[in-house]
Every structure is written in structure tokens, then in C-alpha cells.
Structure 1
Amino acid sequence: MPKNAPPVPVLNRKDHFPVPWDTYLVDRRTTRKPWAFFEHTHKGFCEFLYPVSGLITNTINGIAVNQKPGDLILIREQDTHHLKGSNFTYFNINFDLADLLEFCSSLKIDPYSNVRLRSILVGTNVCHYKVTDEQHINLTHSLNALFEHQQTPLGNMMFQKFLLSIMVDFIIAPTKQSVASNNAPLWLNDLLNHIADNIDLNLVVNDLPEICDRTHEHISRVFKKHLSCTPSQYLNNLRLEKAARLLVHSNQPILDIAYTVGFNNLNYFYKLFSDKYLLTPMKYRKKNTHIT
């Protein structure tokens, strides 16, 4: 973004939608004329976008994707995107990422132990999933049903079924043809599992080559390719996630929490935490203490 460019508009869940919603909200849009939606980002919600006919150009984080039937895209809160197209019908499924994480928890799935789920949470790559012809028929049927029954108990149950099918078919255990990105190498999965098991030991980036027998340069390239972040960013994100949990579920002083999770520089901890959560550690604790 140019230095003096205006800030990207933020669509806030609290005031963007014409009606309040809890579990999900589906928009089905059909147009025969040229149509466009301005560049924006989200606050308080994510969205799946899926065209059932025609073509839409969806530009996400500067990357233009020509979406057509068979192209399912997830837009996260941290993504910036804008759309344009004509002669199409598409569905827009708005939901809270916290519901997806809660759903993972109910299934005993750790989202940080799955490469694709982890890339959704901490990555910047485009979340683009390929849908087979058979899956397209089922997905279109599900989206029409979600649209017809939204804001009802039946619709909420159908949305849980929808999330399960999305996770099974495209995120947790997809076929090689069903995901746009390449599979991560086995050693990366082993390394990530080791990091998750030993993050409390204050691992640093310089420890990684010895753990996985790869060079710094090779590790950095593979992290960037599959996780869309550097090893340092990945480690810091895990530390920040742990700090957030400790802020909510413990009475430890913030200084102690920063040192506990591996930050020796308190100012650096405050900066990274505020950048990630848009709140200082103190304000985050006050806002979320009731979720114990």
C-alpha cells in the first residue's frame, strides 16, 4: 500500500449487516450487469465465497483469483479483498471464526497441529479450495438450504453440518485434487509437532536446524511456502496465543506472563500482542476475563 494511501475500510459485524445474526448469515447474489464491491477487510467475522454460476474476480491480499463454480474461498478477518464480475450467482456465508475453533474443540481437533487449519489462523496465503463436480452438487444444495433456513434452529444445525463437511472435504483430510496448495513435507509436520510440544522450553529460531536437520535458509523457504510466515513469526504467534490464554485463565502479572512465554523484551511483547489482538494485554485481560 502506498505510504499516503487512505486506510482500507473495515466492515464491522456490529453495524455492517442489515439484520443481527448469531451463528451464520448467508447472502445469495445474482446479477446480469457489471458489479463490483470495494476493497475492504472484516472485523468480527469471516466468510466463505462460492459462485454457483458465472465468474467473479476476487482480489485477495493483492492476488487476483478468477472464481468460478469449483472454487471455494475463505476470507479471514486479516484478509483484504475486493470483488467484481457480471452474469453470476454466488453465495456469501458469513460466520465467526470462534465457532469454527469451538467446533474443532468439540471434535478433539487441535487446529495448531494441522497444517491447513494452522495456515488459516496464522497465515496470509489465499485459502482457496478446489471443489469436484460431485462436491459442487452437494455444496450448492447445502448453500441453498442454509439460505432458506437461516436465523432458525434448523438452519443453525445445518450450519454445523456444513462446517463439518467443509472441514472433512477440504481442510482436515482433503484429497490431493481438492486443495489448491501443495502438501507440506513430512519433516515440516514433525518439526511443528516438536515446536508445539516444546514451546514452553523457550525455543528460538536458531534451535530449528538442529531439530530437523535442515539449513536456516531451507526452513525459512518452506515456512514461507506452506505457512505464509517466517519461523520467527510462527514461534512468536504460538507464544502470543499462550500469553492470551494465561491472561484470561490466570492471575499472573503481565510481566511474568511475557517472560513465561519467552519474551525477554516487554516493549516488544506489548507491540506484537497489540498488533495481533488490537488490544493491549491489560485491556485484553479485562475484556475476556469473563470467559473463564
Structure 2
Amino acid sequence: MLKLLAADGIDSEIQAHYRLIASVRDTIGMHTHDFFELFLILKGSVVHIINGKRQLLQENTLVFIRDRDVHYYEQTTDSDCQFINLSFNREVLDDLVAFLGEGFPSERLLEPVMPPSTVLSKMEKEYVRYRLGQLSLIPQEKKLAVKAEVRAILTDLFSRYIKAEADPVELTGQPGWFKDLCREVRKKEHFTQGTAALVGLSDKSHAYLCRMFRKHLGMSPTQYINELRMSYAENLLLNTDMEIVEISLEIGLENVSYFYDLFKRRHSLTPHRYRQFGIVHR
């Protein structure tokens, strides 16, 4: 099996390499490497074969690849794929983990069989594309400046998006009923009803659900439901002309002030500013 080496493709002074991959045809076959990667799907979809498993990755998916993962890409039958990739040396990750400190769950990034991934909102995708694109604006002869920017970008992206927080639809080790519940409640007709939907769908008591959500996801049922509500609200803000009051009602929140509070805690922006920012960066 092909093993790619940092010494062959990554500048030792910069310790990272950024590139745009215009087509799945431009990728290589099954391989591993002695460096790490962060890649983002910009357009289309791709079949990602990683550590013996097949994943269908859609647009806006951000994936962290470790230095022991074995993977390659296959084109889907109905579309090609364009993505951006940032490769970086182990030393960069070690420095990042040391900087973020003990509160950053690095072992949950590195130890699981499957690498972490997350699906971003459209605005988040544009933000990641913008941040990575900054690397191409720095003259390559200014290697120390590029090196510093790489570390600043990775610190930003890891602290924002790659936190080893399990995606609710990609659960492992949980009871079957709990997995089914988390998948089912992602439907709009359920999560807009609040935690009552969890109780009704599972036929479990609210107290028992609280214990299970804390145990398996590290959050309360209310937090879980509100995460789904906020994700749906993001899409409505970016892709519709609905008034913010209408969006609040659409996601099941009659208290608009509470909606604003939840949204600002998640994005440090009001829904109105989030919409403005998303339009500008499309």
C-alpha cells in the first residue's frame, strides 16, 4: 500500500501544504501517510473509503484525517466532487494540542477507529473556505508568515468545529433504541415539538432520558433539541426570506427573545447579523 511522506510533499519550514482538488480524478488510490489532513467538500459528493468503511460525504462536510488512517476516494454515479485540503506535520498538531490545553479532548480525536467529521452550515463552509484561502494570499517565500497563519487557522478551526463531539446520527456503543430515537427526532415534525417529542417517541420518562442523554451525548435532552432547532434556523436564515419571528415559530419557539439568546450563544451573532454575514460571503 502506498504511504505518503511529509518529507516528500510538505515544506519542512512551513510544515503544511494547502491545495484545491478540482475533481475526484485528481486524487490517488488507497494510501496512508505520516501526516495529518483537514479537508472540506466544496461541491458535489464523494464516496470516501476510510479504514475499511464506505462513507458518502456530501457538500459542506469537514473531515480530519489522522496519520494512521487508510483511505481513498471514489466518484459517485451522479456527481463529481471539489474539495480543499490542508496537510500538516505531526509537530503542528502536537503544538496545537499543547496550546489548547488539557480541556481539549485530543484522545477522542486520535483514538477512535473512524476519524471525526462534521457537516457545516453554508455560512460555516464559506468561513472555513475563506480562512484556508488566506494561505494562498501570502507570498510563499514568506515561509514563517505562512507557518504562523497555518497554526492560527488550525487553532481556529479545531476549536470551532473539530471538537470530537459525536454527531447525533453517528453514534457507537449506545442502545439501539437510543440511536433510533436520535435519528427519528431529527425530523422537523418532531424536534419542533421540543422534549415532549423525545418522551413520546421513546416511551421513556423524561428523567430517564435526561440520564441517557447525559451519559451518551454529554448534554441534556433540551440542549439536544435546541441544537437541532438552531441548525434548522441557520438554513432558514440563509436560504429563505422568512422573517426572524416566523423562523422562531417555525422551529417551535414562541418566545423570540429565547430564540435570540440561544442563537447568540451558538454563533456570537444575532440571527439578523448571521443572515447578513452569510449573504455577503456566498
* TM value normalised by structure 1: 0.50
Deviation at 1:123, TM superposition (A): 2.3
- Cα distance between partner residues in 2 of 1:21 and 1:54: 34
Matched, 1:24 2:16: yes
Task: Classify 1:132/1:119 alpha carbon distance in 2 versus 1 (closer, same or farther; 3 Å).
Answer: same
Alignment partner, residue 85 of structure 2? 92
Matched, 1:53 2:43: yes
- Cα distance between partner residues in 1 of 2:10 and 2:146: 18
CA displacement, residues 177-218 of structure 1 (integer Å, 9 cap, x when unaligned):
6x7645999xxxxxxxxxxxxxxxxxxxxxxxxxxxxxxxxx
CA displacement, residues 35-84 of structure 1 (integer Å, 9 cap, x when unaligned):
552101112x1111212112222210112222232211111111100113
Q: Is the 8 A contact 1:130 1:180 kept in 2?
A: no
Q: Is the 8 A contact 1:128 1:180 kept in 2?
A: no
Amino acid at match of 2:72: H
Identity rate, percent: 16
- For the residue of structure 2 that corresponds to 1:171, the secondary structure is coil
Amino acid at match of 1:10: K
Task: Classify 1:20/1:180 alpha carbon distance in 2 versus 1 (closer, same or farther; 3 Å).
Answer: farther
Matched, 1:79 2:66: no
Residues 170-189 of structure 1 mapped to structure 2, 5 A cutoff: 170-172=161-163, 181-182=170-171
Alignment partner, residue 111 of structure 2? 122
- Cα distance between partner residues in 2 of 1:78 and 1:148: 31
- Cα distance between partner residues in 2 of 1:47 and 1:147: 17
Task: Classify 1:61/1:183 alpha carbon distance in 2 versus 1 (closer, same or farther; 3 Å).
Answer: closer
- For the residue of structure 2 that corresponds to 1:41, the secondary structure is strand
Q: Is the 8 A contact 1:56 1:88 kept in 2?
A: yes
Q: Is the 8 A contact 1:36 1:84 kept in 2?
A: no
Q: Is the 8 A contact 2:14 2:147 kept in 1?
A: no
Q: Is the 8 A contact 1:51 1:71 kept in 2?
A: yes
Q: Is the 8 A contact 1:55 1:87 kept in 2?
A: yes
Deviation at 1:28, TM superposition (A): 0.9
Q: Is the 8 A contact 2:50 2:114 kept in 1?
A: no
Q: Is the 8 A contact 2:36 2:67 kept in 1?
A: yes
Matched, 1:109 2:102: yes
- Cα distance between partner residues in 2 of 1:121 and 1:95: 15
- Cα distance between partner residues in 2 of 1:180 and 1:118: 21
Alignment partner, residue 158 of structure 2? 167
Residues 1-292 of structure 1 mapped to structure 2, 5 A cutoff: 8-15=1-8, 17=9, 22-31=14-23, 34=25, 36-43=27-34, 45-85=35-75, 87-109=80-102, 114=105, 117-149=106-138, 151=140, 152=142, 153-172=144-163, 181-182=170-171
Q: Is the 8 A contact 1:60 1:81 kept in 2?
A: yes
What is the aligned residue count?
171
Task: Classify 1:122/1:148 alpha carbon distance in 2 versus 1 (closer, same or farther; 3 Å).
Answer: same
Deviation at 1:173, TM superposition (A): 8.2
- Calculate the aligned-residue CA RMSD, in Å: 3.1
- For the residue of structure 1 that corresponds to 2:46, the secondary structure is strand
Deviation at 1:110, TM superposition (A): 5.5
Q: Is the 8 A contact 1:35 1:84 kept in 2?
A: no
Task: Classify 1:34/1:106 alpha carbon distance in 2 versus 1 (closer, same or farther; 3 Å).
Answer: closer
- For the residue of structure 2 that corresponds to 1:38, the secondary structure is coil
* TM value normalised by structure 2: 0.52
Task: Classify 1:97/1:131 alpha carbon distance in 2 versus 1 (closer, same or farther; 3 Å).
Answer: farther
- Cα distance between partner residues in 2 of 1:183 and 1:166: 25
Ranges in structure 2 where 5+ consecutive residues have no aligned partner? 175-215, 218-282
